[in-house]
Structure 1
């Protein structure tokens, strides 16, 4: 464990916080909640934000609901650490099962991403103004209105909660993690080697959660390790967060920055990455590797990758190249990081390689609802598109991609066939592509002869503007 290191400041694009405070009416043994809004990251078409729900009363609160409106043209695109329902411009966030209790003087947080630039108005917490108001006569035993009938999108953690505020505490908590436990990060910079190796379970996942202002850094490797990376005493590979042999983990809300690699998931199926901010990374931002199947990355922002090695600066990397299967192919000699879902993320600008690189040997993933900003693609190692699909049976749907200088850009989406049967049977629907006058095709399928009987399909619901060639180089299927 390293004790100290000069840490680069976290390069978050934090917006101004809107702090709503007002004198509160005193009440004996009662909870009194306020909710404070803050932008935590900003991009051209939206932002990330969080609410801090604080109990300024003298008794614990056992449930909370924050509601607000967004102006027309802005909408919540994803959220975490809450249960959300939206009706038009009105959004309601109820506590999850593990963060409803707010001790007197305590604070809990939930986060969300917004498409658009409008900020919340008409905010209430448990039906009272977010700035504070008269405390209720008794703390609510449940949120004041019924939760939605649908369950949260991922199993909530259970068991004890471990609060940490230093790198040493986080390293110790990860080493002692057990199924059902939640490790909660306080705001601050955590500089160290952070690795999880304890398996969770479907019924009791292990959660690490924190606000965007909790920043994990690890800019340099230390010691020596094996050529095929596995946890080794005395060796730090320089990863921002590493899961190794640790299925059923959930990483939520926090930032990983100034690391050699961002988040690496090895031999760890059923891992969910939710609402992370990954930026200023030497190589790839997020890597599902060594048959880390059935994973999810959603609602996250990834930018400024490949700062040390542009040729290896992918935003999200699924699987391994066949040349690395001897190292990472732990299932039949193939890296079967199958069925990974990449959902509603904002990737770019200055992702130096592909925004998503889908490697051969992987199958049946989903790439949906993402926004790709192609500024800064380096063009090294044939990285000149938002998405390169060498896997098989992927659904690529509802994504929006743009390109503008600087950068090297050939096509929006590409397929390749490095091994027999790879790069086939993929489907594109409802994607919108602006190639900035530089790219040739929105979707370039490099071969049909290598996919006989399992062709790639491009539907007419896709659209393209500012292309030098057109929508695609193959026949378009109606639909």
Structure 2
């Protein structure tokens, strides 16, 4: 009996040891990185890497490395820290996107001058597609060349009152994080401080940290610029303030929601903007290479329905006198609108793409057209007057009340004919339910004006409950 007991105990110990070893082995992050082009033009392209954690424990950081062929270089990047040695590029996580939970994803983006695509990609020393073992250089983690040290991201400034927030925005420095406590912040919140490509400035908080502006008040200047004694009424205003990350919080009860003026490389992630008098988010005055993703927008245009866009990219040509700061035009180019929920209650277009802007991406969004007003010709989910946009994998629905003509529309303003406004855009993989009201899922206003750079509608787009059908132009297989 004693021998049996000892044997049983020994067996249990073996099982326990094996179980513990299995648990220890499983509890580790496993990262992959997938490359994708987000936009292209004649001399280069925009791209991103989507990093996914397929393991059983959260990551603390990541490092992606690749080579570019001779003649191609990374011109700019965001949501990462970039170092370069010849044609070899290394990207490490920014302060806000290194911790990836099991099953979750993060991404970083970059623009390339040239047409060469990445080669020999690794993540944390392993092949980007997963599997494999670390290379000798990657395993030597103490080596500065194998594992470059990211630039310091600076201190965290915790705020819990409107006064503290205003002061923190005015005193912000590159690399700093301003962290909002839960609560309602009432006031005029504006910053004119720029971050840098390697040290972005972060404003972050939970969804129950709510920015409210009861303005406007005072005498406005002839063109919007932060002015003593004038409250713009904007919920949050970035003015000459590039390289900011805005994450997680809410903006409500303001004249406009979030406005970026001459603030390129702004990233808006996971915000909630609702109940605003005019537009929810506006990339203006050449706020190029910016991103809004994973965010929610509802109930806009409460006072001026025709100006209640969800996301507004660029400026109408009639406003270039104020906002045309790039050769006389508002070049808010390469803006990406990704994986957002826009509507219901958005009184103008979910996304309005203005003339003179180029090469943006509208992907993976959900549009609910209920409540669209029809005011000021607002009668579609997306109106594209820009050039070279990729519009793909979006889902749109419409149910009354509301005024609805088509799911997606193009228009061709003649402000600067050389731009070929409203041309060269691509639709693919979009799913449209027009509610028995809309004519076409995709209505291309003119083919003759875009004969040199036509709009393309692929057969991968689908439509249900349309009065007329998928599109009014020939479909590309």
1:222 offset after TM fit, Å? 1.6
Mapped to 1, the partners of 2:190 and 2:215 lie a distance apart of 15
Partner of residue 406 from structure 2, selected from 373, 395, 411: 411
Write out per-residue CA displacement over residues 239-259 of structure 1, whole angstroms, 9 at most, x where no aligned residue: 000000001111001000011
Structure 1 residues 156 and 477 mapped into 2: Cα distance closer, same or farther (>3 Å)?
A: farther
- Structure 1 vs Structure 2 CA RMSD: 2.8
**Would you say 1:253 and 2:220 are equivalent positions?**
no
**Would you say 1:236 and 2:235 are equivalent positions?**
no
Contact 1:173/1:183 (<8 A) preserved: yes
1:149 offset after TM fit, Å? 8.0
Instruction: Describe how 1:180-191 pairs up with structure 2 within 5 A.
Output: 180-191=175-186
Q: What residue in structure 2 maps to residue 193 of structure 1?
A: 188
1:93 offset after TM fit, Å? 4.4
Contact 1:163/1:184 (<8 A) preserved: yes
Moved over 4 A (4+): 64-67, 90-93, 95-98, 146-150
Q: What residue in structure 2 maps to residue 5 of structure 1?
A: none
1:96 offset after TM fit, Å? 6.0
1:332 offset after TM fit, Å? 0.9
Contact 2:288/2:331 (<8 A) preserved: yes
**Would you say 1:323 and 2:322 are equivalent positions?**
no
**Would you say 1:284 and 2:279 are equivalent positions?**
yes
Structure 1 residues 248 and 379 mapped into 2: Cα distance closer, same or farther (>3 Å)?
A: same
TM-score normalised according to structure 1 size: 0.70
Mapped to 2, the partners of 1:156 and 1:389 lie a distance apart of 39
Q: What residue in structure 1 maps to residue 52 of structure 2?
A: 85
Instruction: Describe how 1:11-410 pairs up with structure 2 within 5 A.
Output: 85=52, 87=54, 93-95=58-60, 158-410=153-405
Structure 1 residues without counterparts, runs of 5 or longer:
1-63, 68-82, 99-108, 113-119, 123-145
SS of the equivalent of 1:281 reads coil
Contact 2:329/2:356 (<8 A) preserved: yes
Q: What residue in structure 2 maps to residue 428 of structure 1?
A: 427
Mapped to 2, the partners of 1:461 and 1:297 lie a distance apart of 25
1:121 offset after TM fit, Å? 13
Mapped to 1, the partners of 2:436 and 2:457 lie a distance apart of 21
Structure 1 residues 430 and 251 mapped into 2: Cα distance closer, same or farther (>3 Å)?
A: same
Structure 1 residues 66 and 300 mapped into 2: Cα distance closer, same or farther (>3 Å)?
A: farther
Contact 2:56/2:102 (<8 A) preserved: no
1:227 offset after TM fit, Å? 2.0
Structure 1 residues 191 and 252 mapped into 2: Cα distance closer, same or farther (>3 Å)?
A: same
1:235 offset after TM fit, Å? 1.1
Mapped to 2, the partners of 1:345 and 1:234 lie a distance apart of 35
SS of the equivalent of 1:174 reads helix
Task: Indicate the structure with greater helix content.
Answer: 2
SS of the equivalent of 2:229 reads coil
Q: What residue in structure 1 maps to residue 449 of structure 2?
A: 450
Mapped to 2, the partners of 1:148 and 1:341 lie a distance apart of 29
Mapped to 2, the partners of 1:203 and 1:409 lie a distance apart of 44
1:327 offset after TM fit, Å? 0.9
Structure 1 residues 224 and 401 mapped into 2: Cα distance closer, same or farther (>3 Å)?
A: same
1:91 offset after TM fit, Å? 7.9
Structure 1 residues 336 and 169 mapped into 2: Cα distance closer, same or farther (>3 Å)?
A: same
Structure 1 residues 197 and 433 mapped into 2: Cα distance closer, same or farther (>3 Å)?
A: same
Larger Rg: 2
Mapped to 1, the partners of 2:267 and 2:152 lie a distance apart of 12
1:147 offset after TM fit, Å? 11
Structure 1 residues 467 and 314 mapped into 2: Cα distance closer, same or farther (>3 Å)?
A: same
Structure 1 residues 246 and 464 mapped into 2: Cα distance closer, same or farther (>3 Å)?
A: same
TM-score normalised according to structure 2 size: 0.70
Contact 1:84/1:92 (<8 A) preserved: no
Mapped to 1, the partners of 2:28 and 2:165 lie a distance apart of 29
SS of the equivalent of 2:275 reads strand
Q: What residue in structure 2 maps to residue 74 of structure 1?
A: none
Mapped to 2, the partners of 1:470 and 1:376 lie a distance apart of 22
Write out per-residue CA displacement over residues 207-260 of structure 1, whole angstroms, 9 at most, x where no aligned residue: 000010100000321211212100111211000000000011110010000111
Structure 1 residues 345 and 474 mapped into 2: Cα distance closer, same or farther (>3 Å)?
A: same
SS of the equivalent of 1:262 reads strand
